[in-house]
Amino acid sequence: MIITSILYLIASFVITYITIPILIKFAESTQLYAQANHRTSHKTPVPSLGGIALFMGICFSSLFFTPNESFSSIQYLLVTQFIIFFLGLKDDIFVLSARKKLLVQIICAQIIIFYSGVKIDNFYNVLGIGTLNEVEANIFTTLTFVGLINAFNLIDGINWLAGLVSISSCLFLATWFGINNFKVELGVSLSLIGSLIAFLRFNKTPAKIFMGDTGSLLIGLTISYLLIRFINLNHKETNLVFSFRSAPSIAVAVVFIPLLDTLRVMFLRILKKQSPFTPDQNHLHHILLKKGLSHIQAALVLFAINCGCIITAVILNQITGKIIIPAMFIVLYTFFNLITFNRMSKKYLNVTI
């Protein structure tokens, strides 16, 4: 398993790494750039086709190294990855309406629910909720997919951020799947990590390429799938080497930064009587930039916070699962303010996190 795991990681890295320079040259020759505007933090046109390279790295590794007898378990994940890939690519080039993107995301969720059987059908007493019926399970699983897909899309606002946060989530998932010998899920996690590491090389400020919606939507879909598998396997498999008594709470911690940031900005928009999908500059990374941090510094801060949330959740799980989610907010508030305290200006000192 160790050799195969290394192959997943290396292959996805190499494919992505050699593809990105080709995409950059293609974007230059066709003038396919993410144009700078009043909301963007980059000042010059930058190619936004990095998601193509991520897709190629992830799918190549998954298709090539997954054993034939195990392929059926990720068959429909790959189908939905192809659908999301073309959705994101069209949006990066032509721009699609939010309604059309939402519809395709819901269709992808239904494919995975009905054909793969991957769904959240039990909260395992988190918040006092137990087993869900078929309709409830379908609705909540669909909301989870759509919510996380868009959460990762929304945090892709500065260089390195979406990549680093995704790596922190996948490192945890890969470790757990590896310890418990779930080879297919481990392979998918490592494929994503390898591709993201290669992408970060070209996304460092000054960025040569962005992942675009193609990349962020693909990441959100894949991590959503892995998280639901993580929850299900924790409570349905009996021969686990290491398990969590409160897997749903751990799953929240794994994606705490993108999840909280999305809910936070939507809440603020609604308070202002705006559409929750109205673009603005109220994300956590925008606050950090306004406090004087660079793109990379802000991304590293949020990466550290997400890692801190995961570590805290793992430790608290051994005591009680009931305080994991409240503890996440304490970790966020503490890290966010301690790390940036010396850079705060009076103007932003009282910004609500």
The stretch 20-31 carries a mean pLDDT of: 93
Joined together, the tokens standing for residue 176 give 């757990």
Q: What percent of the chain has pLDDT over 90?
A: 67
Query: Which pLDDT score is estimated for 333?
Result: 73
Reported confidence tier of residue 24, pLDDT bands at 50, 70, 90? very high
Burial of 319 (0-12, 13-18, 19+ CB in 10 A): exposed
pTM, to two decimals: 0.92
Joined together, the tokens standing for residue 278 give 């109205």
Distance CA(248)–CA(229), nearest Å, equals 11
Q: Say whether pLDDT at 143 is over 70.
A: yes
Please count the CA atoms within 13 angstroms of the CA of 339 that sit on its side-chain side. Answer: 20
Q: What is the mean pLDDT of the chain?
A: 89
Distance CA(132)–CA(24), nearest Å, equals 47
The stretch 160-164 carries a mean pLDDT of: 97
pLDDT (tens digit, 9 = 90+) per residue, 220-251?
999 999 999 999 999 888 889 999 988 998 99
Q: Is residue 100 part of a domain?
A: yes
Q: Is residue 41 part of a domain?
A: yes
Query: Which pLDDT score is estimated for 41?
Result: 57
Q: Is residue 219 part of a domain?
A: yes
Joined together, the tokens standing for residue 72 give 């059926």
The stretch 284-309 carries a mean pLDDT of: 92
Residue 35's domain comprises 2-348
Produce one character per residue of 103-121: b if its CB has 16 or more CB atoms within 10 Å, e if not. ebbeebbeebbeebebbbb
Q: Is residue 353 part of a domain?
A: no
Q: How many domains does the chain have?
A: 1
The stretch 55-67 carries a mean pLDDT of: 95
Between 327 and 96, residue with greater pLDDT: 96
pLDDT (tens digit, 9 = 90+) per residue, 92-139?
998 899 899 999 999 999 999 999 999 999 887 776 778 899 999 999
Task: Tell me if 180 sits within 8 A of 189, measured CB to CB.
Answer: no
Residue with tokens 């940036």: 340
Between 327 and 46, residue with greater pLDDT: 46
Reported confidence tier of residue 323, pLDDT bands at 50, 70, 90? confident
Query: Which pLDDT score is estimated for 350?
Result: 42
Distance CA(159)–CA(61), nearest Å, equals 25
Query: Which pLDDT score is estimated for 52?
Result: 97
Query: Which pLDDT score is estimated for 43?
Result: 62
Distance CA(40)–CA(57), nearest Å, equals 27
Distance CA(286)–CA(296), nearest Å, equals 12
Dihedral in degrees, nearest 10, Cα atoms 108, 52, 226, 7: 140
Query: Which pLDDT score is estimated for 349?
Result: 39
Task: Tell me if 252 sits within 8 A of 314, measured CB to CB.
Answer: no
Q: What percent of the chain has pLDDT over 70?
A: 90
Reported confidence tier of residue 348, pLDDT bands at 50, 70, 90? very low
Q: Say whether pLDDT at 207 is over 90.
A: yes
Q: Is residue 163 part of a domain?
A: yes
